[in-house]
Amino acid sequence: MIVDIIAGVLIVAGVGFLGIGVLGVLRFPDYYSRTHAVAKAETLGMLLVFGGLLIHLRLQAGTAQLVLIAVFAFLVNPTATHALARVALRRGLAPWKRGDPT
């Protein structure tokens, strides 16, 4: 019973962080701040959701796959976001400055 409550809290917190990432995409003015918001919120939200699922499954079938997916996403998501921002900067996409139109 308590384990299920902990799992539920982790999953809800993870979905909350994913929602915050969506708000960052809608609210922030330029590409760089949007990718930063998405990368941070998505990585933490995904880890919380997977942690809740792992606790809920209690070492049943599929937990090894969830751990592998979580580790892979934890390593790849920030790296991919950094690579995309670096390509945007090299292609000439200037960061937003105060006073620029949005």
Region at 26 (left for phi over 0; alpha for psi -120 to 50; beta for the rest): alpha
pLDDT, position 21:
93
Q: What would the mean pLDDT of 46-70 be, rounded to a whole number?
A: 90
pLDDT tens column, 5-48: 999 999 999 999 999 999 999 999 889 999 999 998 999 999 99
- Residue 16 belongs to what H/E stretch? helix 2-27
Band of residue 102 on the pLDDT scale cut at 50, 70, 90: low
pLDDT of 60 above 90: no
| Nearest in space to 52 (alpha carbons), one of 70, 68, 40 | 70
* pTM greater than 0.75: yes
pLDDT, position 17:
95
Structure tokens, 76: 């790849």
